[in-house]
Amino acid sequence: MTLTTRTKVTGAVLAAALVGSAALVSSTHDDRTGDGRAADEQRGSAQGGTGRVSLPEAKEGVPSRTATDWVSYGDQVAVVRVLAEHERPDPETQDEAAGAGTYVPRTVDLRVTDRLWARPSAAALPGAVSVTVDGWQLHDGVRERVASQDAARLEVGHTYVISFARYEDGVWAQLGSGAALPYDHGRVGSGEFAGHDVTVDAYRSALERQRVPGEEAPVALRTAGKTADDVQKVLRSAEPDPRATRPARATEPTDTFCSVASPLATSESGRHTPDELASVLTDLAGMASKPADASVLRSYATSLGAGTGAGKPDDTARAASVVAIERACGIDVGFLRPTDD
């Protein structure tokens, strides 16, 4: 297997990073989902998938939260219902499927119920597609759902508004983590979000807390509590970014912030030198969604003195980096210090 430059860790940590390139395990209630409750237990299906699937890592290749993002990078926007889910066996890790910390990928079958927007000259969206989404993590024989804290997981029985991109190899994929809006009962913000059932009010409150002043408001916030027709109106009034470069392929893996951060979790019991830790932190700084998080991660990485051996770790930046990673990924990274000084 070819290693990415982002995963510069050793021993068991490296193995865990390769086996479980997941976002985060959300087994507890996250306060950003308001009064959300745990979603229904996972339901399997013997039905076969439809269409072609994409790797979950590819979904963060482009921006996906605003109307500008959707019309710049997307091909089709549709209302879909999740009909079934399946494990997606990984030949690289199939023999280790029972191991602690193993990540199990998941695909979901979607039925398109309404088409809202299409990029000029875009390929037609099939009536049924399958996409790869967050799956499960195995811990001591117990399967736990993997779910990003600020994105829909796509659960069986729920309805969503999704922006899709079609890549040159024919793969249809969700544009990104910001490209799926809960849409149960015909209202944006009602349904599943971050692995929990949420109300429109809770959804809107979570989005308001995440909003960055001065930046374009996400589609989710602009349409919370409204209908698919309102989403359509927002998209029809949006202008593509002329600087946008559409990704060519969905099947080339791209690490996410949380998959890169996962080897730093204390549960991985790994050891890493100042150089290795600084390398991971630098990569995280380049992927952080918030400028403030990027700044503290980069400051702490620099203070470790990578390659010089003369670093004086910045404890203020270190503490802020701990908060940034744990808030984004829901993992415990301890004190985030090199472990083999």
pTM (predicted TM-score): 0.59
Q: How far apart are the first and last CA of the chain?
A: 29
Return the pLDDT at 338.
85
- Note whether 192 and 153 are within 8 A (CB): yes
Neighbouring residues of 233: CB distance < 8 A, sequence distance ≥ 6 = none
Q: What is the pLDDT of residue 254?
A: 43
pLDDT for res 127: 92
- Residue 136's pLDDT is what? 85
Element (H, E) at 181: strand 180-182
How much is the pLDDT for 253?
38
Q: Walk along the chain (341 residues) and give the pLDDT tens digit of each residue.
A: 122 222 222 222 222 222 222 222 222 233 333 333 233 333 333 233 334 433 343 346 788 999 999 999 999 999 999 999 988 765 554 444 444 457 788 889 999 999 999 999 888 999 999 888 888 887 777 888 888 878 899 999 999 999 999 877 778 899 988 999 999 999 999 999 989 999 999 999 989 988 888 999 999 999 999 999 999 999 999 999 998 876 654 443 344 677 678 778 776 556 778 888 888 899 888 878 788 888 999 999 999 875 555 568 899 999 999 999 988 777 788 899 887 44
By CB neighbour count within 10 A (0-12 exposed, 13-18 middle, 19+ buried), where does 137 fall? buried
Q: Dihedrals φ, ψ of 136, to 5°?
A: -135, 155
